[in-house]
Structure 1
C-alpha cells in the first residue's frame, strides 16, 4: 500500500533510505543521502519543502520516495527500496504514484537526477519511460566530482 507520508514518518523514511543507500557507503564518493538525519527529513516535511510516498508492507515501510513540486514538474529524489524487497516492482509502483500525484497537480513532467555510474538506476528509469535530458558534474565537499544525469518523463496532460 502506498500512502503520502506524515511528518511523524521521518524515522521510517530515514531508515528505509539508509538501508537502500548503504551499498554506496564504500564508494569513492558516497551518496550524500547517507549524511541525512531523521531531523533533516522531518524539518523538510514540516516546512512543506518536500513530501514523500511510503510503500507499506505488513505494517513496515519497505520503500519510499521524496519529492517536491517545481515550476512545471515534479522533482523526486532518494527513491529507496530496502535491499531485501528489491525486484518486486516497488520502485515501479512508487513511480506510478508520483505520476498520479503530478497529474493531480497539473504537472506534466517527472524528473530526477542520478549518478551516471549507477547504470542499474538509469536502466530502471529508462524502462519506465524516462529519457536522459541533461548531464551535470557535481562537486562534493571533499573535492571529488560526480557525473550525474537528469532523467525526465513527459506525462500526458
Structure 2
C-alpha cells in the first residue's frame, strides 16, 4: 500500500472515495452531510487550507482522510475506505500515517468527531488509542438531532 499526500488536483478522487464510503449512511436520519459535498466544495476546502491523505493499492485509490491543523491539534474527518476494502486495516494504516505526519510537525494531539450511532467507528478509534473527551447534540433542520462524541489521541 502506498499512502500519499493529496494535491488540489486529487479533489475528484477524494470526493469519489468519500461518496462511495459514506453511501452506507444515505438512509440514516439524517443522512451524512458528506453525501451533500461536491468536488467543488472539496476543492474550496483545499483552497482554505484543508489537507488530505490518499491510500492506494496497486495504483488504485482505496481510502482517504481529510484534515486540518487547529489550535488544539490535528483534526481529521471524512475518513473513507471503499466498501469492498473496509475491515482490511486500511483505515488504521491511514490514521497511522496521519500520526506520523503529526509527530513530524510537532503536533501531539489528533482529534475527530463521531456519530454515537456509528459504533464500528467508535470501536476502531478506541482500538488504536483514541478516547471520548466530550459529547454533544447537533441540531439539524426539521428538529432532527444527532448525538456526537469528540475523541482524541495524545501521541507519546
Name stretches of at least 5 consecutive residues in structure 1 with no aligned partner: none
Distance in 2 between residues matched to 1:136 and 1:91, nearest whole Å? 25
Deviation at 1:98, TM superposition (A): 0.8
Deviation at 1:120, TM superposition (A): 0.6
Distance in 2 between residues matched to 1:52 and 1:40, nearest whole Å? 14
Distance in 2 between residues matched to 1:142 and 1:24, nearest whole Å? 18
**Structure 1 residue ranges, 4+ long, deviating more than 4 angstroms after superposition:** none
With normalisation by structure 2, the TM-score equals 0.96
Distance in 2 between residues matched to 1:105 and 1:139, nearest whole Å? 35
Distance in 2 between residues matched to 1:76 and 1:38, nearest whole Å? 18
The answer to whether the 8 A contact 1:72-1:108 is kept is no
Q: Which residue of 1 aligns with 2:7?
A: 6
Deviation at 1:105, TM superposition (A): 1.5
Number of aligned residue pairs: 155
Q: Deviations over 1:30-64 (max 9, x none)?
A: 0000000011111111232x100000112221100
Deviation at 1:141, TM superposition (A): 2.6
What RMSD in Å do the two structures reach over aligned CA positions? Answer: 0.9
Distance in 2 between residues matched to 1:151 and 1:104, nearest whole Å? 21
Is 1:17 aligned to 2:2, yes or no?
A: no
Q: Which residue of 2 aligns with 1:148?
A: 148
Distance in 2 between residues matched to 1:6 and 1:149, nearest whole Å? 30
Is 1:120 aligned to 2:120, yes or no?
A: yes
SS at match of 2:114: strand
The answer to whether the 8 A contact 1:4-1:54 is kept is yes
After superposition, where does 1:64-143 map in structure 2 within 5 Å?
Answer: 64-143=64-143
Deviation at 1:27, TM superposition (A): 1.2
With normalisation by structure 1, the TM-score equals 0.96
